[in-house]
């Protein structure tokens, strides 16, 4: 693929119950609508990561599924770290976000290793943080829905994606939400987050082309519906 | 003491009706608080005990099917208006008995929400339980699917007589592995099959007997689990069923072949959709545990009216408006398939996000809207609080909504004015939107369509 992008969808069968598959659809369509080529490559347990990946997308799943993929994910750790260093764009939601960190410490005291792409650590808790969330970032306001019991703390090498306006965010105490390092983004926002945040979606596309030293003018799309839906969502109770 | 409870509850019922309010919960809630032992005492008097129906999708319709089948032989008490919390069952008991506390009911058939089924078992362990499926739904309430399965497993273990399960749902089959009463091959079992037994209350029982309903392997792919929606291999179960859906054809009615015990019955269902054919198999398997024969069961199923908002139709100036409740990805996908049979001239999709609907809109992205795009002739409206979210979702499937109208009454009125007399409009609606739409459609409808006398 010379003039388009390769999107990798991580664990589509295992990590899919919160609608995050929609992020793949949003990016794919926004490329297609502009006449840019796009290939979506699903990567499941046992599959190799494609070497020409431009954007990696991962979603949330059941706690049990997270256990199932954990081993495989850690096995891909060295490749994922190399890709992150190489500037591959990644967007990881919820469970996938947690696994991109150093580790997940469960309520029962088990350590589930992550891959350490993001400098974050997550601890299981007894309460589940559930509700509509609005997050202010440098790419505008992101609208989504959080539903997690893991509490995530950021280390020095990660910066928050943004600050929560009404939700609990990473841990319910410091108002941060998500984490970022270069082109790697992690967040608890389902929704799917890119649907009602077209500016952030285009930012990811832009970064993927920039990394390939391609100057691609992203034609503006008609985002009337996305903005209308975002405005309604921003006015809904938590 | 029960008389006091009954008067308190009935007076609350009357008061609510006088002011024109829906009274499914409050009378029960009042009595539940004031007289905590009331429900247990009343239910213990039922000669044929209590049936609980639970699961993610199909509870209301299946409860109605079970109640209709059993109604041919027994006097049935049921909460068929959708009040599926414990208080809803108390309201049903209050409605059933006279002001002097008399009731002629033999058996209760209760639809219970998954979380409330557990609470109900603490008040009264049912003799029979029918579990339909465990699917992704209301994750903002339950957290995740496995939590819901765990809750239902508790309900199954509390059941004293007979548990009927969907063999095609792996999470439910896992529940059976923890029950020790054995598997029934014909639906009957010595302990609870009815006449002369104590309904499994003796306490000496080794745990509930299990029987299964299911769909034929050829149909299995039409009823995917959440895992199968995303390319997971379709799981085929060979567990023995007492009732099995053999074929289903969707037209104006739902034509199905259903094996009940050893007999194959042709049944024409008035409730729309393949999912209702699956529900009919579930209801038949449950009815077999009462020792009813296949002909009686099939006769009952043929006479079932669609439940409130579940494939109900209305006649608005000669246009047929069909109301379909949608609340989660699996149910929405099955409901969308009714488009093929109905060939609607207009489609309305109404999405609210109140607590009872689920606040999270993510689930819309796990529905494949291809059936809508195939029907290019249909005029398409999105409505409800999240009308814009729904239009956005369709936009990303390459489908343009013709109208985004947040107001439900306006949306349905526009749609029915847009089509010709004789045309069909299908309205897909979430739970709270459905209550409002139902009222709107009752007002608009000049006369009920042949199959719309259901509920309320």
Tens of pLDDT, residue by residue over B33-43, are 888 889 999 99
Tell me the mean pLDDT in the region B307-320.
86
Task: Assign A78 to helix, strand or coil.
Answer: helix
Tell me what pLDDT residue B243 has.
97
Which residues sit opposite B347 in a β-bridge? B380, B426
Q: B233 and chain A: CB distance < 8 Å anywhere?
A: no
- The CATH H-level superfamily of B311-444 is Mur ligase, C-terminal domain (3.90.190.20)
Distance CA B15, CA B7 (A): 12
CATH of the domain at A177: 3.40.50.880
Residue with tokens 């509850």: B9
For B2-302, the fitting CATH number among 3.90.850.10, 1.10.10.10, 3.30.360.10, 3.40.1190.10 is 3.40.1190.10
Distance from CA of B385 to the nearest CA of A (A): 8
Residues B343, B424: contact at Cβ < 8 Å? yes
A157 C-beta neighbours (distance < 10 Å), count:
10
Distance from CA of B149 to the nearest CA of A (A): 12
Gyration radius (Cα) of chain A, Å: 17
Tell me what pLDDT residue B1 has.
65
Q: A62 and chain B: CB distance < 8 Å anywhere?
A: yes
Residue-number span of the structural domain to which A108 is assigned = 5-234
Q: Tell me if the pTM is above 0.90.
A: no
Nearest to A191 among B231, B232, B362 (CB): B362
Q: B386 and chain A: CB distance < 8 Å anywhere?
A: yes
Pick from B150, B36, B162, B25: which is nearest to B92 by CA? B25
Residues of B in contact with A19 (CB under 8 A): 360-366
Minimum mean pLDDT among A26-35, B72-81, B151-160, B411-420: which range?
B72-81
Query: Is A229 in contact with B231 (Cβ distance < 8 A)?
Result: no
Tell me the mean pLDDT in the region B54-69.
93
Q: Write down the catalytic residue from A9, A148, A168, A190.
A: A190
Question: Domain ranges in chain B?
Answer: 2-302, 311-444
Distance CA B186, CA B188 (A): 6
Gyration radius (Cα) of chain B, Å: 21
Tell me what pLDDT residue B375 has.
67
* Domains identified in chain A, total number: 1
Computed over every residue of chain B, the mean pLDDT equals: 87
Tell me what pLDDT residue B197 has.
36
Angle between helices B329-336 and B274-288 in degrees, nearest 10: 110
Tell me the mean pLDDT in the region B323-350.
88
Q: What's phi and psi for B415, nearest 5 deg?
A: -65, -45
Whether the pLDDT of residue A119 is over 80: the answer is yes
Tell me what pLDDT residue B307 has.
80
Tell me what pLDDT residue B82 has.
58
Which stretch, A124-133, B233-242, B383-392, has highest mean pLDDT?
B383-392
Tell me the H-state helices in A49-157.
63-75, 77-85, 95-100
Whether the pLDDT of residue B448 is over 90: the answer is no
- Note the pLDDT tens digit of each residue in B124-141: 999 999 999 988 776 666
Tell me what pLDDT residue A41 has.
96
Residues B2, B8, B10, B15, Cα dihedral to 10°: 180
- Note the pLDDT tens digit of each residue in B154-210: 999 999 999 999 999 999 999 998 887 888 888 876 433 333 333 434 444 568 999
Task: Assign A197 to helix, strand or coil.
Answer: coil
Tell me the mean pLDDT in the region A40-55.
95
Distance CA A203, CA A184 (A): 12
Whether the pLDDT of residue B287 is over 50: the answer is yes
Tell me what pLDDT residue B329 has.
87
Whether the pLDDT of residue B447 is over 60: the answer is no
Tell me the mean pLDDT in the region B404-410.
97
Tell me what pLDDT residue B138 has.
67
């Amino acid at each position: 693929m010379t003039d388009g992008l390769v999107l990798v969808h991580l664990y589509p069968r295992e990590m899919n119950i919160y609608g995050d598959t929609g992020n793949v659809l949003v990016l794919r369509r926004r490329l297609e609508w502009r006449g840019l080529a796009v290939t979506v490559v699903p990567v499941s347990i046992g599959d190799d990561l494609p070497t020409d990946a431009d954007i990696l997308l991962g979603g949330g799943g059941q706690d049990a599924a997270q256990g199932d993929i954990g081993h495989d994910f850690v096995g891909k750790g060295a490749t994922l770290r190399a890709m992150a260093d190489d500037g591959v764009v990644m967007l990881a939601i919820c469970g996938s976000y947690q696994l991109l960190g150093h580790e997940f410490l469960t309520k029962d005291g088990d350590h589930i290793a992550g891959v350490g792409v993001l400098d974050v650590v997550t601890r299981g808790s007894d309460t589940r943080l559930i509700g509509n969330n609005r997050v202010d970032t440098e790419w505008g306001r992101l609208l989504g829905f959080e539903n997690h019991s893991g509490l995530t703390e950021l280390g020095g090498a990660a910066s928050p994606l943004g600050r929560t306006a009404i939700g609990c965010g990473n841990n319910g105490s410091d108002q941060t939400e998500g984490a970022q390092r270069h082109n790697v983004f992690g967040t608890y926002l389902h929704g799917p987050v890119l649907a009602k945040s077209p500016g952030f979606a285009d930012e990811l596309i832009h970064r993927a082309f920039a990394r390939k030293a391609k100057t691609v003018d992203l034609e503006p799309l008609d985002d009337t519906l996305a903005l209308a839906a975002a405005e309604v969502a921003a006015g809904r109770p938590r | 003491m029960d008389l006091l409870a009954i008067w308190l509850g009935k007076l609350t019922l009357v008061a609510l009706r006088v002011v024109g309010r829906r009274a499914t919960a409050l009378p029960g809630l009042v009595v539940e608080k004031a007289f905590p032992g009331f429900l247990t005492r009343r239910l213990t008097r039922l000669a044929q005990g209590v049936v609980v129906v639970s699961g993610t999708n199909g509870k209301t319709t299946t409860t109605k099917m079970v109640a209709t089948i059993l109604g041919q032989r027994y006097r049935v008490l049921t909460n068929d208006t959708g009040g599926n919390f414990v208080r809803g069952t108390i309201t049903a008991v209050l409605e059933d008995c006279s002001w002097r506390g008399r009731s002629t009911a033999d058996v209760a058939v209760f639809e219970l929400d998954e979380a409330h089924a557990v609470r109900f078992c603490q008040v009264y362990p049912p003799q029979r339980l029918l579990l339909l499926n465990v699917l992704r739904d209301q994750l903002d309430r339950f957290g995740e699917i496995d939590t819901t399965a765990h809750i239902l497993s508790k309900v199954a273990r509390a059941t004293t007589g007979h548990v009927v399960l969907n063999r095609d749902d792996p999470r439910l089959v896992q529940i059976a592995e923890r029950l020790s009463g054995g598997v029934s091959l014909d639906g009957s079992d010595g302990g609870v099959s009815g006449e002369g037994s104590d309904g499994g209350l003796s306490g000496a029982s080794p745990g509930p007997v299990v029987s299964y309903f299911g769909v034929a392997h050829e149909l299995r792919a039409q009823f995917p689990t959440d895992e199968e929606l995303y390319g997971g291999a379709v799981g085929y179960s060979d567990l023995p069923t007492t009732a099995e859906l053999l074929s289903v054809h969707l037209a104006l009615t739902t034509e199905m072949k259903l094996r009940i015990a050893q007999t194959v019955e042709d049944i024409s269902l008035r409730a729309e959709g393949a999912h209702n054919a699956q529900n009919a198999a579930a209801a038949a398997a449950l009815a077999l545990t009462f020792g009813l024969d296949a002909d009686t069961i099939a006769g009952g199923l043929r006479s079932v009216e669609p439940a409130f908002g579940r494939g109900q139709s209305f006649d608005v100036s000669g246009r047929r408006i069909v109301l379909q409740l949608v609340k989660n990805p699996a149910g929405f996908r099955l409901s969308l398939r009714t488009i093929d049979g109905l060939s609607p001239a207009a489609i309305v999709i109404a999405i609210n996000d109140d607590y009872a609907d689920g606040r999270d809109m993510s689930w819309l992205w796990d529905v494949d809207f291809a059936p809508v795009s195939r029907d290019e002739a249909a005029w398409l409206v999105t409505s409800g609080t999240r009308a814009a979210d729904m239009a956005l979702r369709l936009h990303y499937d390459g489908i343009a909504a013709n109208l985004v109208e947040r107001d439900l009454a306006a949306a349905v009125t526009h749609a029915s004015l847009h089509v010709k007399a004789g045309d069909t409009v299908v309205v897909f609606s979430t739970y709270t939107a459905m209550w409002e739409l139902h009222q709107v459609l009752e007002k608009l409808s000049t006369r009920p369509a042949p199959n719309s006398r259901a509920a309320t």
